């Protein structure tokens, strides 16, 4: 079963429990603002066993904290390059601006799973068993 970690701004998505998607375990992490997602936190999600990590933010221009979503996007871009450079494939890290209320999350998860089928499980988790934290 594939494992996804979903970071999201509480202002972008209404109260949400871990969504259920066929053939995937999804863990959600709520943030006061998407700008709170740091490079190291994204990398640790992979280290903890995620096959993919998704960051959901408010639409650009609609962040309550001015440009938090833009800072989050730049961090995601930087971490994607780092993942590519260490052989994990930056396509495992996804970024989406979502409509207020979080409509379209199911489609985003299905898109992520479709891309993951091509990539397969994370090489980190297949190289050795990573205990859940």
What angle, 0 to 180 degrees and rounded to 10, lies between the N-to-C axes of helices 39-47 and 68-85? 50
The mean pLDDT value for 113-122 works out to 87
Q: Which CATH number fits domain 2-127: 3.10.400, 3.40.1000, 3.40.50, 2.40.128?
A: 3.40.50
- Portion of the chain with pLDDT greater than 90, in percent: 38
The edge-to-edge listing of strands for the beta sheet with 93-97 is 24-31, 2-9, 52-57, 93-97
Q: Which among 124, 101, 76, 130 is positioned nearest to 10, based on CA atoms?
A: 101
Domain boundaries, the chain: 2-127
Average pLDDT rounded to a whole number, residues 49-57: 93
**Mean pLDDT, rounded, of the chain:** 84
């Amino acid at each position: 079963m594939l494992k996804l970690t979903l970071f999201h701004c509480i202002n972008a998505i209404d109260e949400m429990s871990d969504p259920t998607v066929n053939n995937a375990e999804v863990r959600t992490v709520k943030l006061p603002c998407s700008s709170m997602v740091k490079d190291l936190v994204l990398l640790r999600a992979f280290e903890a066993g995620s096959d993919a990590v998704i960051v959901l933010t408010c639409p650009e221009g609609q962040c309550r904290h001015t440009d938090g979503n833009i800072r989050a996007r730049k961090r995601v871009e930087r971490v994607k390059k780092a993942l590519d450079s260490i052989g994990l494939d930056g396509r495992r890290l996804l970024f989406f601006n979502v409509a207020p209320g979080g409509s379209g999350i199911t489609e985003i998860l299905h898109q992520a799973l479709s891309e993951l089928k091509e990539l397969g499980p994370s090489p980190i988790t297949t190289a050795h068993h990573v205990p859940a934290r």
